[in-house]
Structure 1
Amino acid sequence: MAYEQGELFAEASDKEISETEFYLERYKDMMLFIADFEGNEADMAQVAIDGESARRLSVDDLHADKTANAVILNEKQKWMYERYRVYTFMIFRAYNLIRDPDVKEVIRVRFIQGHSRKETILFTRRGTAASTVDRYIEKGIKMVANSLNQMGFFDEILKRN
């Protein structure tokens, strides 16, 4: 993010636009994980203890402390849940800032609802060409990236690294 003197709204860089597309592509998956975690947190912890998922956290482990690994696995799931909540909240806020109704509709169908490009083209109004839908997607990603830039989303992402 680079602000110039006198500049009120910074444009997202190509890297930030690419990152935005990456997170938009995963938005639906993050929302599904959040819902699953909220509804099944206790069961997930118990399965980690009882099941084989905590047997070894790494293929390099020669032996495993199953209970300790289950705790680590559960903490990782909690950490992912918290990160996903922050990311999805910021992405949805940026999506809501799209002012063009056609672009907003295409972004909603494609990323918020999680449909494929082909399905998005089919869900748009009759007579809308595939190339127009592609332009709306590109324009929408850039609009979301600019909003995320101003919200400090990319600074939040850097915190995890």
Structure 2
Amino acid sequence: MMVMDNLFPEATTIDVAKTKILLNQYKNKTIIVERLIPETPKQKLVLENDKHMIRTLEKAVNLILDPEIREIITYRYLEGNPRKAALVKYRNFTDRTFDRKVEEGIISVANMLRLWEEI
């Protein structure tokens, strides 16, 4: 019999790194999904997987409890803005504070992906 140590499993550092990669790929994947017309079964499968991951990331970001962090993650990753533009928009934060908030957001998304067994 398997016993869970924690009702909500926490993401590992590897999970967080994978999540950061997925978030960095999000904007490009959404453009590809919108524009690509699959011509082969393999392309169709890849497209469906990408669509699923896009929806999953959007749900996970929307579940970030802190509205400020959710807004930062949305602006930075889902809207595809570079770090420099995000720092300008959120200039009330120091670089370090901004980076901490981004890291908190990524960890929150990674925890949801771990809970949903997506990573």
Q: Which residue of 1 aligns with 2:9?
A: 10
Q: Which residue of 1 aligns with 2:25?
A: 26
Please point out which of 94, 101, 106 is paired with 2:60: 94
Q: Which residue of 2 aligns with 1:80?
A: 46
The one-character-per-residue Cα deviations of 1:66-120 (angstroms, maximum 9, x if unpaired) are xxxxxxxx33321221110111111111101001011111101110001111111
TM (normalized to structure 2)? 0.90
- Structure with the bigger RCO (C-alpha within 8 Å, sep 6+) is 2
Q: Which residue of 2 aligns with 1:151?
A: 116
What is the distance in 1 between the residues matched to 2:24 and 2:82? 10
What is the distance in 1 between the residues matched to 2:63 and 2:106? 12
What is the distance in 2 between the residues matched to 1:101 and 1:129? 18
Runs of 4+ in 1 over 2 A off after TM superposition: 74-77
1:142 equivalenced with 2:91 (yes/no): no
3-state secondary structure, aligned to 1:24: helix
**How many equivalent pairs are there?**
117
What is the distance in 2 between the residues matched to 1:105 and 1:34? 24
Percent of pairs identical after alignment? 30
In structure 2, list runs of 5 or more residues that go unmatched: none
What is the distance in 2 between the residues matched to 1:84 and 1:134? 27
3-state secondary structure, aligned to 1:153: coil
Larger Rg: 1
Q: Which residue of 2 aligns with 1:67?
A: none
**Amino acid paired to 1:95:** V
Q: Which residue of 2 aligns with 1:123?
A: 89
Structure 1 residue 35, shift from structure 2 partner: 0.7
**Amino acid paired to 1:110:** R
What is the distance in 2 between the residues matched to 1:129 and 1:123? 12
